[in-house]
Amino acid sequence: MPSATFVDVEVEKVGRVYGRRRALHDVSFRLGAGEAAALLGPNGAGKSTLLSILSTQSEPSSGTVRFGGRPTSPEARAGIGVVAHESLCYGDLTGRENLRFFARLYGVASPNQRADEMLGRLGLDADAADRACRTYSRGMMQRLSVARALIHRPHLVLLDEPFTGLDRDGVAALGRLLVEERERGAILLIVTHDLPAVSEVCQRALVLHRGRLVYNAPLAGRALSDVYQEALPAAG
């Protein structure tokens, strides 16, 4: 199904409750086209819960999420790309076959050409591209996962620790690719503990602490590490 074009994502007073535990408390923010934000916070702060809601894999217990001013729809879902802890690729297929499959699934024009383009952009050579991806190293699988998430040129890209397993060259290549995606107009939300890796990618920081959004502002030249260190003590 073709994706609906949306130029912003709005999160308004979103909460999520699991039994007696409140994972998110009235979280509100907006991200516009071409904006990249780092989503920071200690373990258990609610980052993965928020990504799950934004990816439409789960629903908020309260509040709303709007894509281009509209609620979640199948068309909006088709405009989202996700890099999760699991690759979501099929181990018995080659890297090339995986990307061609997902390109066709999303209705991408010239799926074979797009798959080859993404293999090149992520540095997966012909030998790797034509091997079953269950034989891949952790870093190679991470590159393939990113390629899968971006194969359909999504409007919103959600990345959960995307630099995990990558060597120095891989980190640099992914950083350049994410800048290109941002310049294309994609909205990026990146959960990471590798702050230097996203320093050239993100213009905004969101900091969660105990399920509450305690910081939401453009970086304006400030280092992510400084913002993070200041935001958490202020949260108490």
User: Which has the higher per-residue pLDDT, 128 or 74?
Assistant: 128
Q: How does pLDDT run across 93-130, given as a tens digit for each residue?
A: 999 999 999 999 999 999 999 999 999 999 999 999 99
pTM for the model stands at 0.94
Torsion over CA: 46, 48, 20, 16 (sign): positive
Q: What pLDDT is attached to residue 75?
A: 82
Output the CA–CA distances (angstroms, integers) from residue 163 to 142, 156, 189, 192, in the order listed: 8, 18, 14, 8
Nearest partner of 52 among 39, 42, 37, 70, judged by Cα: 39
The pLDDT assigned to 2 comes to 56
Are 44 and 16 in contact by the 8 Å Cβ rule? The answer is no
Q: What is the pLDDT of residue 236?
A: 56
- Residue with more model confidence, 200 or 29: 29
- What's the rounded Cα separation, in Å, for the pair 233 and 142? 33
Domains of the chain and any CATH numbers: 1-79+155-163+187-236 (3.40.50.300), 82-153 (no CATH)
Instruction: Note the helical H segments in the chain.
Output: 47-54, 74-77, 95-105, 111-121, 126-129, 138-150, 168-184, 224-235
Segment 174-198, tens digit of pLDDT:
999 999 999 999 999 999 999 999 9
Mean pLDDT of 197-206: 94
Dihedral sign (CA 173, 174, 176, 181): positive
SS (H, E, C) 99-167: HHHHHHHCCCCCHHHHHHHHHHHCCCCHHHHCCEHHHCCHHHHHHHHHHHHHCCCCCEEEEECCCCCCC
Q: Which residues pair with 208 in a beta bridge?
A: 213
Residue 207, pLDDT above cutoff 60: yes
Which of the four pLDDT bands, split at 50, 70 and 90, describes residue 3? low
pLDDT in tens, 4-19: 677 899 999 999 999 9
pLDDT at residue 74, rounded to an integer: 81
Average pLDDT over residues 208-214: 96
